[in-house]
Amino acid sequence: MQNITVTITDALERWQNLWPDWLISIAFLSVAAILLLFLHSLIMSALQWALRGRLAEFGRKLLNRIGPPTRLGLLVLGLGVMLQAVPDRGPGYQVLEWGLLFGFIIFLGWSAITIVNTASEIYLRRALRGSEDSVLSRKLLTQVRLLRRIVVFGLGFLTLSAMLMTIPSVRQYGVSLFASAGVAGLAIGLAARPMLSSLIAGVQLAITQPVRLGDEVLVEGEFGTIEEIQTTYVVIRLWDWRRLVVPLSYFMEKPFQNWTRQTSSILGSVFWYLDYSTPIEAVREKFQELLKASELWDGQVGLLHVTDTKERTIELRGLMSAASSGNSANLRHEIREKLITWLQETYPHALPRERIEFGNLPAAPPAMPVRH
């Protein structure tokens, strides 16, 4: 029995001599990492199984979203605890400890960003549930999404700063830079001015909201719809599907037209130039009839007046309202065409024409007899 014990001891000593301690430790930590990942997978699968049938599509998306950061957190915390149990830690362990600290900072920043994104989506989901006011919906979407991007940008910046401060050389450089300040600080301030200006403009835009997602605007002579509001720029989808990219600060510094600031409804106008013999009242009745028959008219404004007189024609202006600028444009085209068609069929003399009138001309002299 004693001989067997001695043989096993010799074998262990030979095995330890064959494999250095650092390699054994790496193998131990690698196995631990695999087990931790397997444990996380089991926990997430158990949650999905326990909550099956209770989660809608939105809930499943949220559960999938928290998977990656929690996996990283469990891995970092588990390896950190196991690393303390490893005996005879050499110089290489300092690099491993620094890597775990690096991962822990990433986990905190990632988790904070995930919480902000999740909270904003839950708030929007509840606030917009059953909301029929498009102006209120666009206001909430613009505020929450823009503020969320600014907060996420700030969290990412803080996370990156904390990661860099864990590097001794970078930390010492940062301390000396802040200590010297002066020209270097001024240069950094000037370089960061566009970014800070965009962030400040983003906060102002989120609070005051001169434009919102879905607003129809006239910018630089181009008409379009606000399609995206990013941290530093705004994307406008033009009427011909081109995209106009405008700096965020533009809407805080320059004038522009917002056609849907308070409401999506908008007035449209159509002009006709007709003959003086046009029966105004009959045209007004037909105008009202065409509006009531159109699905694009919202029933609020429908007026027809003579707004000007020219030498040969009178100017009729028809005002009509619609729920959106797109409907307004189509409504104006429809009413213009149908009223012209009606005038051609019913009152053709009402269309513009040139008159030539002959007064009392002197009688023609008698014809001279023809001599043969």
Residue with more model confidence, 20 or 362? 362
Average pLDDT of the residues in 303-325: 90
299 Cβ contact list (under 8 Å, min separation 6): 321
Q: pLDDT tens-digit profile of 231-260?
A: 788 899 998 889 999 988 888 888 888 877
User: What's the mean pLDDT in 268-295?
Assistant: 92
pLDDT digits (tens, 9 = 90+) for 57-78: 666 667 777 778 888 877 877 7
Q: What is the pLDDT of residues 84-117, one digit of tens each?
A: 666 555 555 666 777 778 888 888 888 888 888 8
Q: What is the average pLDDT score of the chain?
A: 76
Q: Could you give the domains of the chain? A: 10-127 (no CATH), 142-261 (2.30.30.60), 266-350 (3.30.70.100)
Q: Phi first, then psi: what are they for 31, rounded to 5°?
A: -65, -40
Q: Cβ distance 302 to 288 under 8 Å?
A: yes
Task: Give the span between the Cα atoms of 351 and 277, in whole angstroms.
Answer: 9
Task: Choose the weakest-confidence range: 23-27, 88-92, 197-201.
Answer: 88-92
pLDDT tens for residues 112-157?
Answer: 888 888 888 877 777 777 655 566 677 777 778 888 888 888 888 8
Check residue 135 and give its pLDDT: 64
Per-residue pLDDT for 26 more than 70? no
Distances (CA, A) of 37 to 26, 109, 223: 16, 20, 53
Q: Which is more confidently placed, 330 or 31?
A: 330
- Across residues 204-222, what is the average pLDDT? 83
For residues 355 and 113, the model is more confident at 113
pTM of the model: 0.52
Helix (H, G, I), strand (E, B) or coil at 90: coil
